[in-house]
């Protein structure tokens, strides 16, 4: 093994072990606080008199606040540094998540969901940008896959924990279980937000936990790739990144293929299972975790395959097509078990597509323009988190069934898959990463 290759392997191993487990843990906290409403709704909706449409609207209102503050938040991240800004985001959203225990009616429910989205805005795209600042193209898809394992992990753990808390703490000190759920799951985020300020490192040049040779290798490789991307594409300013057609198209694709489906399903799974089978909250916690166990396995499998074959486009298209077909098929099956199999496969396809999706903007955006472009894509896409739960709730009120909502999501995922495939065809050919690898060797 050459000395250069040994430095590369050592550097990437240190970056992976130092950064990715903590980033994954942060995202687990984020996703639990974002989605525990699905379980809270089992008690909160009847206690506060919320209809399915109102609950779905409130669940989705999170993403309106997220959309409004997403780009400004990421511009602040680029200015103040990822470490400080991500820590600030975590403390703010953790406090709001805990204070949701004080909700006492429709108005306060809607206001707090909006504030939660506004306070969390910038976290996910900020971390995606941060990973791009540390992991070269060869390692980026693998790093993103491992980071995005946080979503199914959070939904598995959150499903089990939330099902337990809402039952075990119901009536303690005279308060309903859903109030304790918000309080107990929100406080840890505030604590680890403070920890983040001291643990993360903004950029490779500041990483004292790397040797001088490792820092030099990493900075040189990232600079070489950035120069290659700029050479193959126009040098985008922040303004151009905001309005670039590919950025807007990716935002629409993320809306259709990922966010509308992911949030349209995970916000409603507890109530779907309750309607289909009449299970207890603890039983719903166990069965409701199965789609996310499937998603966890699919992320690992496709991430490993994509990394091994250094191929992104067809892995992404395959994942989304499996998700679309599975969700559409739910309309044509009957019974809890066949329907849940469709939901499991749908979640597996959509979740495993997420890290592969985020390799597309890295093919034509760098630097501050990348931070801005990623924020735009994520903010547009996350509007799907508003329309998905809202649409499923409206369809449920209109038809009395959830399967028609799953069909709507399946069609949406299919359209998003087509857009992603076209954009991968356009931008996947512009940068010759193999030449960079050969030059490094």
- In tens, the pLDDT along 243-278 reads 778 888 999 999 988 877 777 777 777 777 777 777
Encode pLDDT of 336-348 as tens digits. 788 889 889 999 9
Q: How confident is the model at residue 33 (pLDDT cuts 50, 70, 90)?
A: confident
The per-residue pLDDT for 182 is 94
The per-residue pLDDT for 437 is 54
Question: C-alpha distances in angstroms, 369 versus 135, 241, 264, 372?
Answer: 17, 6, 30, 5
The per-residue pLDDT for 218 is 94
Distance (Å, whole) CA 109 – CA 103: 6
Q: How confident is the model at residue 240 (pLDDT cuts 50, 70, 90)?
A: low
Encode pLDDT of 373-408 as tens digits. 887 888 888 788 788 778 887 888 888 777 788 888
Q: How confident is the model at residue 199 (pLDDT cuts 50, 70, 90)?
A: very high
Nearest-10 crossing angle of helices 313-329, 290-309: 160
Mean pLDDT for 427-433 is 58
- Tell me the chain's radius of gyration from C-alpha atoms: 21
Mean pLDDT for 309-334 is 89
The per-residue pLDDT for 241 is 65
Q: How confident is the model at residue 416 (pLDDT cuts 50, 70, 90)?
A: very high
Nearest-10 crossing angle of helices 106-120, 3-35: 170
DSSP single-letter state for residue 402: S
More confident residue, 173 or 437: 173
From the list 29, 35, 27, 26, the residue with the least C-alpha distance to 385 is 35
| Mean pLDDT of all residues belonging to the chain | 84
Domains and CATH numbers, the chain: 19-201+217-434 (1.20.1250.20)
Q: How confident is the model at residue 96 (pLDDT cuts 50, 70, 90)?
A: very high
Distance (Å, whole) CA 357 – CA 250: 9
* DSSP-assigned letters across all residues of 281-338: HHHHHHHHTHHHHHHHHHHHHHHHHHHHHT--HHHHHHHHHHHHHHHHHGGG--SHHH
Quick one: tokens of 165?
Answer: 């808390």
The per-residue pLDDT for 171 is 87
């Amino acid at each position: 093994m050459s000395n250069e290759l040994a430095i590369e392997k050592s550097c990437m191993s240190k970056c992976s072990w130092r950064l990715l487990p903590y980033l994954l843990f942060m995202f687990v906290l984020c996703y639990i606080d974002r989605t525990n409403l699905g379980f809270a709704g089992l008690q909160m909706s009847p206690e506060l008199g919320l209809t399915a449409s109102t609950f779905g609207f409130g669940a989705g209102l999170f993403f309106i606040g997220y959309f409004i503050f997403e780009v400004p938040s990421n511009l602040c991240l680029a200015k103040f540094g990822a470490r400080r800004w991500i820590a600030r985001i975590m403390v703010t959203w953790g406090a709001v998540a805990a204070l949701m225990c004080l909700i006492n009616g429709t108005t306060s429910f809607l206001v707090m969901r909006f504030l939660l989205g506004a306070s969390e805005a910038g976290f996910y795209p900020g971390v995606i940008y941060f990973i791009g600042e540390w992991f070269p193209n060869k390692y980026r898809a693998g790093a993103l896959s491992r980071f995005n394992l946080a979503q199914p992990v959070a939904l598995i753990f959150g499903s089990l924990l939330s099902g337990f808390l809402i039952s075990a703490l119901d009536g303690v000190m005279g308060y309903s279980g859903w109030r304790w759920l918000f309080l107990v799951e929100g406080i840890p985020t505030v604590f680890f937000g403070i920890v983040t300020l001291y643990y993360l490192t903004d950029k490779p040049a500041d990483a004292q936990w790397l040797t001088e040779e490792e820092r030099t290798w990493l900075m040189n490789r990232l600079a070489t790739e950035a120069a290659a991307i700029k050479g193959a594409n126009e040098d985008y300013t922040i303004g151009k990144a905001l309005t670039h057609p590919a950025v807007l198209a990716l935002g629409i694709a993320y809306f259709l293929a990922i966010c509308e489906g992911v949030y349209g399903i995970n916000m409603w799974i507890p109530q779907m299972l309750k309607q289909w089978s009449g299970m207890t909250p603890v039983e719903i916690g166990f069965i409701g975790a199965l789609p996310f166990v499937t998603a966890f396995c699919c992320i690992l499998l496709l991430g490993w395959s994509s990394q091994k074959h250094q191929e992104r486009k067809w892995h992404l298209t395959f994942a989304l097509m499996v998700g679309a077909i599975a969700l559409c098929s739910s309309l044509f099956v009957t019974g809890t078990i066949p329907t849940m199999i469709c939901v499991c496969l749908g979640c597996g396809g959509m979740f495993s597509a997420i890290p592969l999706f985020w390799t597309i903007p890295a093919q034509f955006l760098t630097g501050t323009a990348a931070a801005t472009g990623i924020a735009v894509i994520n903010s547009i896409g996350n509007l799907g988190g508003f329309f998905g739960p809202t649409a499923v709730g409206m369809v449920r009120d209109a038809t009395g069934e959830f399967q028609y909502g799953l069909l709507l999501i399946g069609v949406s995922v299919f359209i998003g898959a087509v857009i992603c495939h076209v954009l991968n065809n356009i931008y996947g050919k512009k940068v010759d990463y193999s030449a960079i690898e050969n030059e490094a060797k």
